[in-house]
A and B are shown apart, each in its own frame.
Chain A
Amino acid sequence: MILIPCIHCGPRNASEFAYLGELGRQPDPNTTTPPEWRRYLYTKANTAGWTVERWVHRAGCGRFFTVERNTLDNKIRTARPPDAQIRLIQQAGRADPKADA
């Protein structure tokens, strides 16, 4: 198994985390068509190489975060808070989101 660098707890065994899948762009639910929504639900890039994905530290602090992982050898390059969270922190006037994490 591999170590996942939690943004709050540091590197922990992957069995403590839940893998939530690769990040995709969600269409606007108010204007999307059923085929477009289904494509968003089902179609995956399934990249063999570096991917950006979402994890949650389920058996730990409960934080959601974004991980950059190479699916060929499971090496992890970066772990950061979700983009939406970064935006919120920036709006609150704090420039460095990692300082908060």
Chain B
Amino acid sequence: MWRPLNGLLGNGRGSGPRARYSAFGLLRRGLSGADWPPAWSTHDLAPSYDVVVIGGGVHGLATAYYLATNHGLRNVAVIEKRYIGSGASGRNTAIIRSNYLTPEGVRFYHRSLKLYERLAADLNFNVMFEQRGHLTLAHNDSSVRTMRWRAEVNKLEGVDSEVIGPTEVKELAPFLDVSEQTRYPILGALYHPPGGIVRHDAVVWGYARGASARGVHIHQDTEVLDINVIGGKVRGVVTNRGEIATPVVVNCTAGWSSVIAGMAGVELPIETFPLQAAVTEPVKFFLNPVIVSGTLHVYVSQTARGELVFGASVDPFTSYSTQGSLEFTEELAGHVLQLMPSLARLRLLRQWAGLCDMTPDFSPIIGATPVAGFYIDVGWGTYGFKAGPVAGEAMAEFIATGTPPEIIATFDLARFDEGRLVGEKGAAAVGH
């Protein structure tokens, strides 16, 4: 199994002293040639933990980090089947925004964006958050109407968001084709200046380093095989490395959340769909904002290295397979060229897929379940990465205090039984 930077970032044993990253430290180690200490530690599996988080992605690690930082709960384990960030946290297109449609959705993602803004300082880890602006293009009248609706909801919630016309779109992204001679002319866009992109691996590593420094055990290559539930209460988890006794289990496993919830006897309103993405060869910097087109099912951003990252809507049928398809590449290329015809000679480097746990209302499910001590942080569909910090913060508060924070109160599992769906499809899905 390929493990990027494993030797560099996480092979240390025990929780030794951490080096604080700084310009001075970089200079000193650059001159002395000394090795950097590991960013996080490895441990033997303890027989019991206060909290076991299943899933070593941004949600699981953020939950553990905030449990330790905000609530002093340090006897926490994060269990990861492969290596941290190997699932959806390392497969998304790393877009951060908060211009959603429902007031509760906007408030939630806005808090996440605020946490992202100071994350590098909080974690002492450069997560490379670049707030380059985010453009959601409208190609027809109904899209313009939805953009206007979103802009007004956003402004009421204090989120910087405005509908702009084709001329302003052209100023922000000169390589976009804003002519009227195309199949889907650009009539306007929802402009969201605080949106941008972040380095998703760095977010995972930063949370892992911060959590590990505060005593959280991160167990990679550890697969959960079963969850022990006795008398409607969680008693522990069974892993391929042995059993762990614990009163609290948090399910942060995205695409695999139905399987993990099934081990505790909890059924979820979730279907797992693959979502494919692709990246081109690096070119000179030319695209500042993130471009999204719902009609064309595509989003584009240019990384700091110069590659263009493309994402699409989810595949047309459920699957746990992350195999890519030629249909995706063909459709994607066609749609990207409608937006930016000048990219015709650009070559794709690679494509991949991640698993999305889709809910019926395109909002997440965060909170308690009928099984006492079994918490879920699932249903993240195509919007999980941008919500990692706020979901971790809120879930940690819920576990530590026993009451759900207001910011996630409407995202509980019971809403499906009680008919309180939070319809976010108009702002969360690209293919609507």
Contacts and interface: CB of A to CB of B under 8 A. Distances in A.
Bound together: yes
B19 interface: no
Contacts of A41: 360
A72 B326 CA distance: 19
Interface in B263-280: 267-272
Given A1-B327, A42-B269, A44-B270, A71 B321 contact: yes
Contact of B258 (A14, A34, A44): A44
Identify the interface centre among B317, B318, B417: most chain A CB within 10 Å of its CB: B317
B398 interface: no
Given A1-B325, A38-B417, A44-B258, A71 B270 contact: no
Interface string B306-318: 0000000000111
A5 B13 CA distance: 53
Interface in A1-52: 1, 13-15, 18-19, 21-22, 34-35, 38-39, 41-48
Contact of A44 (B268, B319, B321): B268
Contact of A46 (B317, B318, B360, B419): B318
A95 to B, nearest CB: 32
A73 interface: yes
A69 to B, nearest CB: 8
B323 interface: yes
A47 B320 CA distance: 9
Contacts of A19: 316-318
Contact of A71 (B269, B318, B416): B318
A9 B267 CA distance: 36
Given A34-B419, A43-B268, A48 B317 contact: no
Given A44-B269, A46-B268, A35 B417 contact: yes
A85 interface: no
Contacts of A14: 316-317
A90 interface: no
The interface size bin for chain A is 20 to 34
A72 B360 contact: no
B384 to A, nearest CB: 16
A74 B315 CA distance: 13
Nearest to B267: A43
A4 B165 CA distance: 44
Contacts of B207: none
A38 B419 contact: yes
B259 interface: yes
Given A15-B327, A44-B268, A44-B270, A38 B416 contact: yes
Nearest to B259: A48
B416 A42 contact: yes
B273 to A, nearest CB: 10
A21 B327 CA distance: 21
A74 to B, nearest CB: 5
B8 to A, nearest CB: 33
Interface in B321-366: 321, 323, 325-328, 360
Given A19-B317, A71-B320, A73-B321, A46 B272 contact: yes
Nearest to A39: B417
Interface string A58-101: 00000000000001111000000000000000000000000000
A46 B258 contact: yes
Interface string B246-272: 000000000010110000000111111
A92 B165 CA distance: 63
A15 B321 contact: no
A47 B360 CA distance: 17
A41 B415 CA distance: 13
Most buried by A among B270, B320, B360: B320
Contacts of A47: 258
Contacts of B327: 1, 13, 15
Interface of A: 1, 13-15, 18-19, 21-22, 34-35, 38-39, 41-48, 71-74
14 contacts: A1-B326, A14-B317, A19-B318, A34-B419, A35-B418, A42-B269, A42-B416, A43-B416, A46-B272, A48-B259, A48-B272, A72-B321, A73-B321, A74-B319
Given A71-B272, A71-B320, 12 more contacts: A1-B325, A13-B327, A14-B316, A19-B317, A38-B417, A41-B360, A43-B267, A43-B269, A45-B267, A48-B320, A72-B321, A74-B319
